[in-house]
A and B are shown apart, each in its own frame.
Chain A
Amino acid sequence: MEIKKTPLFKLHTAYGAKFVEFAGYQMPIQYKNGVIQEHNITRTKSGIFDVSHMGQLFIKGKEELINDLEKILPTDLNKLSINQCKYSFLMKYNGGIYDDLIITKIEDGFMIILNAACKENDLKILSSVLENKYILNLREDLSLVAIQGPESKDILEKIIKGISNLKFMNGNKFNYKSTSLYITRSGYTGEDGFEISLPNNIAEEFVKKLIENGSALIGLGARDTLRLEAGLCLYGHDINEDTSPVEANLKWAISKQRLNSKFSGSNEIKKQLENGVDKLRVGIKPENRIIARESTKIFDKNNNEIGKVTSGTFGPSVKGPIAMGYVNNSHAKINNKVFLEVRGKKVPANICDLPFYKKNHVKGEANV
């Protein structure tokens, strides 16, 4: 299969990007500055992320669509007001997660942002659940650009008036010259920021404008350190078809009202909420500088294996190694001491609260 490129590929190259293949796309892992500087630029100023590889799915419909979507999403979609976004999941029948997503109610239906690696499979799953009653439009003509960090609001406001009035996890239509864009106040870094859905043919021009106004391109390398510091899950690593939202410590994303109704995997979820779970996703902070990467085994003080790391890196803002993973429920207490097996040695670490880095969101309906 040929590797796909986003409409911003030329711009990435011009800014000295190093590329990596991700979900079938040639994506920038870093630019000339390197991961740590790019991370710090996003935390202190403003960074631009090309996330055009992600799926932008539009489904038109009203009441009936809500009922049908609720067969597979554990979110109370009736409660969503127009332009409001929610973090949710495509649920598997066993209580596992096919994908995590952001769903936004728009005038004539819903917009759903899907993970790049999952989007084609998600489309099949949704088509089957929705029984081909609706048109599912996975838009290839749109790019997706995130701008994140404390200065992003002022930078974007210079280009698009009124953007500062958006509340966290809300979106709206805006105009850039004569083109209509859909912008939400959301992100994946733990910082205030926006995600801009725009036609492919203006993506490069628009991003250049953001750069001219003081933002900078940031690669996937820093995107990973930023999201991990913010305690956010990466699909395929921290969550997958065999982890439930309860085990992943994401039960806040399941609407309470929905526990009285059925959705894919709801029986399993209810059971887990009543009886507890065997494993739980936790934050893990190694005591020294050693980084515990994905798949590192976790042991208790008696040398019993109690879990595995699912993401681990060096946190540039935390200035030390950070990780998350699953441990047996009985070990999932804050400050519980565990041992990580790295290159044959057992290194001490502590279970800790997430996020590692306190977020900087603008007040609103903060629930991420």
Chain B
Amino acid sequence: MSNLKFSKEHEWIKLDGDIATIGITKHATEMLGDIVFVELPEKGSSLEKDSTAGVVESTKAASDVYIPVSGEVTENNQGIVDDPAKINADPEGAAWFFKVKIKNKSEIDGLMNKEEYEKFAKESNK
């Protein structure tokens, strides 16, 4: 999945035309531990880059999920709401969080590629 881009808030984003699929990284799930609750943005809601788009909760704590690009939510993944454990099982695949129709493609350019993110995650783990 080399076409993924990553944010400093540990979200991944995959662009397909002007639709971006967004989820949280494997590294994020490892930091959080077992995820037991997730709240996603409603379909149709318009979100600004870097604003809060949802919440994930592990047995230990709640963390906000941020949207790394501006856009309108076109779909959210009800499957992970019903069974949040799916997020730990396949965070960068089946357990995507939501899709947005992005406003400004150039916002993607500011994000990290896989290699950069892995380095960043390693550093922030120290």
Contact = CB atoms under 8 A, between A and B. Distances in A.
A291 B61 CA distance: 9
Contact of B60 (A29, A289, A316, A343): A29
Contacts of A343: 55, 62
A30 B37 contact: no
Contacts of B36: 36, 289, 291, 314
Interface string A181-214: 0000000000000000000000000000000000
A34 B60 contact: no
A34 B34 contact: yes
A160 B51 CA distance: 58
B69 to A, nearest CB: 23
A37 B36 CA distance: 13
Contacts of A289: 36-37
Interface in B93-107: none
A240 interface: no
Contacts of A30: 33
B2 interface: no
A314 B33 CA distance: 13
Nearest to A224: B59
B38 to A, nearest CB: 9
A221 B33 CA distance: 10
B9 interface: no
Contact of B62 (A29, A36, A293): A293
A290 interface: yes
Main secondary structure of the interface of A (DSSP, over half): mixed
A313 interface: yes
Given A34-B34, A35-B33, A289-B37, A314 B55 contact: no
B59 A290 contact: no
A289 B39 CA distance: 10
A37 B60 CA distance: 14
B75 interface: no
Name the residue in B36, B55, B62, B85 with the highest tally of chain A Cβ atoms < 10 Å from its Cβ. B36
Contacts, number: 39
Interface residues of A, number: 18
B37 A291 contact: yes
Contacts of A115: none
A315 B39 CA distance: 18
A321 interface: yes
B62 A314 contact: no
A20 to B, nearest CB: 9
B55 A313 contact: no
Nearest to B37: A289
Nearest to A345: B39
Given A314-B57, A343-B55, A291 B62 contact: yes
Contacts of B61: 293
A356 to B, nearest CB: 14
Contact of A321 (B37, B55, B85, B88): B37
A293 B36 CA distance: 13
B59 A225 contact: yes
Contacts of A225: 59
A32 to B, nearest CB: 11
Interface in B59-79: 59-62
Nearest to A222: B59
Contacts of B39: 290
B17 to A, nearest CB: 33
Name the residue in A29, A36, A321 with the highest tally of chain B Cβ atoms < 10 Å from its Cβ. A36
B55 A34 contact: no
Contacts of A290: 37, 39
A34 B33 contact: yes
14 contacts: A30-B33, A34-B88, A35-B60, A36-B34, A36-B36, A221-B33, A290-B39, A291-B36, A291-B37, A291-B57, A293-B61, A314-B36, A314-B57, A343-B62
Given A34-B33, A36-B85, 20 more contacts: A29-B60, A30-B33, A34-B34, A34-B88, A35-B59, A35-B60, A36-B36, A221-B59, A224-B59, A225-B59, A289-B36, A290-B37, A291-B36, A291-B57, A293-B61, A313-B59, A314-B57, A314-B59, A321-B37, A343-B62
Interface of A: 29-30, 34-37, 221, 224-225, 289-291, 293, 313-314, 316, 321, 343
